[in-house]
Chains A and B, each alone.
Chain A
């Protein structure tokens, strides 16, 4: 009976410690003495996916590829503006196999002054920079070195009736995990 109480107490301490590690990522993971340190991802270089300025009135798509300096592909009339893909940095242990998970469902960009929205889908990231072998909503690769920057792009779906104005989204997640 006494033994089982001790076991329980020890269990609580370790659980608490484990949760702590999770909250603070790689630095604390190393402190625990576990042999594998965390792989972490952070937003890099502003981390915003911007489709720039597009002329309204026609339905179509605008593709921003997941590369450092993206060029838009579209059947629509494009009118300059800021065009960026979303940059992310992965840090972790050299040689770690990891998977990047991109949003698999559409993200809405919502008109500033109305409830109109457009959908952003088909998220992708650059294979070469991320060292990934498959691109889609999730892609796998191996970390070469201790950090890697990659870029996420997507497709914007414009409807003919979408009013002019600024459209912005809530944040969308990009998750990296190792295996």
Chain B
């Protein structure tokens, strides 16, 4: 009788021990991250609409990706001889090769200031590796060049002189 009671106590103890061990479970996970080279943008060429002549009528000059200027509308004309050469703005984008980046251009007109009046430049668009009017590009080995074009509005009877904008034509790039 005495023995059987002891047995019973032992059974309970062991059963309790089994439950205790079983009351915990563990699973595992790992963690990871990728660090990449910062994206960088360097200006390699300023935007220049060339030398134009105003008239009594407002006109526009269209600067293209291949750095040629053409008359858009109205009374502005292009002065070829002896004038400053037109040039699309160019930027070199460097970063992680193969990565896609987005391009942000000014959506508002930029004001070029001259001796008295101002002139507006706007409708900026970007070209990447020969693909025009894009908002994204891919970083290639050695960097990717983007060209930026725009349209200049020449007011009627604009006064002769140099019209320039210091730094409002801001181009931003970001990894997508």
With A10-B10, A174-B26 in contact, is A55–B32 under 8 Å at CB?
A: no
Give the interface residue-count category, chain A.
35 or more
Q: Closest chain A residue to B37 by CB distance?
A: A164
B29, A156: Cβ atoms closer than 8 Å: no
The answer to whether B85 has its CB under 8 Å from any CB of chain A is no
A134 contacts the other chain (CB 8 A): no
CA distance A38 to B19 in the complex (A): 8
Using known A-B contacts A14-B14, A175-B24, determine if residue A77 contacts B38 with beta carbons closer than 8 Å: yes
Q: Bound state CA distance, A156 and B28, in angstroms?
A: 18
Rounded to whole angstroms, the CA-CA distance of A117 and B99 in the bound complex is 24
Judge whether B7 is part of the interface by a CB distance below 8 angstroms: yes
Interface string of A3-14 (1 = CB under 8 A from B): 100010011001
Residues of A within 8 A of B30 (CB): 47-49, 168-172
- Tell me, yes or no, whether B175 is within 8 Å of chain A by CB: yes
Binding site for B on A (CB under 8 A): 3, 7, 10-11, 14-15, 17-19, 21-22, 25, 29, 32, 34, 36, 38-43, 47-57, 62, 77, 79-81, 86, 88, 107, 109, 118, 120, 152, 154, 156, 158, 162-179
Is residue B34 contacting chain A, with contact meaning CB distance below 8 A? yes
> Is the Cβ of A165 less than 8 Å from the Cβ of B10?
no
- Give me 25 A-to-B residue pairs in the complex whose CB atoms sit less than 8 angstroms apart, sorted by A's number: A7-B3, A14-B10, A14-B18, A15-B17, A18-B21, A21-B22, A25-B25, A38-B22, A38-B25, A41-B25, A41-B27, A43-B29, A47-B29, A48-B30, A49-B32, A53-B34, A54-B36, A79-B39, A86-B29, A86-B31, A109-B33, A169-B32, A173-B27, A174-B29, A176-B26
Partner of B35, one of A49, A164, A174: A164
Contact A177 to B39, CB < 8 A, known contacts A49-B30, A86-B31, A88-B29: no
Please state if A156 and B33 are interface contacts (CB–CB under 8 Å).
Answer: yes
Is B34 in contact with A166, judged by CB distance below 8 angstroms? yes
Q: Is the interface of B mostly helix, strand, loop or mixed?
A: mixed
Question: Which of chain A's residues have a CB closer than 8 A to the CB of B27?
Answer: 41-43, 47, 88, 173-174
- Asked if A54 and B33 sit within 8 Å, CB to CB, the answer is yes
Residue of A with least CB distance to B101: A79
Question: Bound state CA distance, A176 and B25, in angstroms?
Answer: 5
B81 within 8 A of A: no
Shortest C-beta distance, B53 to chain A (Å), equals 46
| Cross-chain contact A21 with B10 (CB below 8 angstroms) | no
Interface core residue of B21, B25, B36, B96 (most chain A CB under 10 Å): B25
> Whole-angstrom distance from the CB of A63 to the nearest CB of chain B?
12
